[in-house]
């Protein structure tokens, strides 16, 4: 059973649990990918990292969904990446390969991991920015994705836009490197202008540990905004929540 709410210009779907959330999100992904290919001949998709989207990605690799996607017209990118080798468990690219990319008929040339091998995160971030500006349509100097998938951390971060980090103000860059003190590690992330320019943004949030932050995100109108509140997509926006994550929300 899915309950639909609204938040800002976004449609919020509250599903019973993670499997139902993943099914609803997979159906929306197929719709958005197909619409982009229909309209522009190609779909540029940025994947979220973390663990929540794994079930969604596994569904997209299943024939019931995979057969609906024109993989040769789809280009896959990443919303952010941990600054680690691509063959390590922490890598978002490594995760996506295992559950999706290595299981579908996506041409290798259509897969665009964030580079992490230069030994300098800022250099790799700039390399990725150049790739985006070359591959994607650009509007007002900002590359425009057709679909961006995003998760949310308990602190209100999304992609690798963590609270109180300089990357939140990197409005002149489409991709930025950031050293995250609390993780003691470097990250590379799409910046807010890119997330906000996307044709469609889908947030995917699951679990009771996210409930109190979600309540804050949906109700707190104070100036002290957490990073995910600063993602205000100019176009289509969807939230896919499970009941546990939405437990503190009121219609």
Q: Which residues bind ligand 6PG (CB under 6 A)?
A: 48-52, 79-80, 82, 92, 151-153, 157-159
Closer by beta carbon to ligand 6PG, 141 or else 182: 182
CB closest to ligand 6PG, residue no: 151
Closer by beta carbon to ligand 6PG, 75 or else 157: 157
CA distance 104 to 211: 34
CA distance 116 to 119: 7
- CA angle 70/75/80 to nearest 5° reads 135
Closer by beta carbon to ligand 6PG, 28 or else 158: 158
Closer by beta carbon to ligand 6PG, 40 or else 246: 246
Rounded least distance, CB 231 to ligand 6PG, Å:
11
Q: Which two tokens stand for residue 210?
A: 């996210």
Closer by beta carbon to ligand 6PG, 146 or else 242: 242
Nearest to 82 by CA among 121, 123, 129, 128: 121
Rounded least distance, CB 78 to ligand 6PG, Å:
8
Rounded least distance, CB 90 to ligand 6PG, Å:
9
CA distance 137 to 30: 21
In terms of phi and psi (left: phi > 0; alpha: psi -120 to 50; beta: otherwise), the region of 207 is: left
Rounded least distance, CB 32 to ligand 6PG, Å:
18
Q: Which two tokens stand for residue 145?
A: 């994705």
Rounded least distance, CB 154 to ligand 6PG, Å:
8
């Amino acid at each position: 059973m899915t309950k639909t709410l609204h938040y800002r210009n976004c449609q919020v779907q509250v599903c019973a649990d993670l499997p139902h959330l993943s099914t609803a999100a997979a159906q929306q992904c197929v719709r958005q990918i197909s619409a982009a290919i229909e309209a522009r001949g190609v779909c540029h998709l940025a994947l979220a990292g973390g663990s929540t989207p794994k079930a969604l990605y596994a569904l997209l690799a299943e024939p019931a969904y995979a057969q609906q996607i024109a993989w040769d017209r789809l280009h896959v990118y990443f919303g952010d990446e941990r600054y680690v080798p691509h063959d390590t468990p922490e890598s978002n690219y490594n995760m996506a390969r295992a559950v999706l990319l290595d299981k579908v008929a996506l041409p290798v040339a259509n897969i665009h991991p964030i580079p992490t091998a230069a030994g300098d995160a800022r250099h790799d971030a700039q390399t990725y920015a150049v790739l985006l500006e070359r591959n994607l349509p650009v509007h007002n100097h900002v590359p425009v994705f057709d679909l961006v998938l995003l998760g949310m951390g308990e602190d209100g971060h999304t992609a690798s836009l963590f609270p109180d980090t300089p990357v939140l103000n990197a409005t002149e860059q489409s991709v930025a490197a950031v050293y995250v003190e609390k993780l003691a590690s470097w990250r590379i992330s799409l910046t807010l202008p890119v997330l906000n320019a996307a044709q469609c943004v889908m947030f995917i949030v699951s679990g009771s540990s996210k409930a109190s932050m979600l309540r804050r995100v949906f109700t707190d109108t104070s100036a002290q905004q957490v990073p995910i509140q600063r993602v205000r997509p100019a176009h289509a926006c969807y939230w896919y929540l499970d009941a546990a994550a939405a437990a503190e929300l009121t219609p």
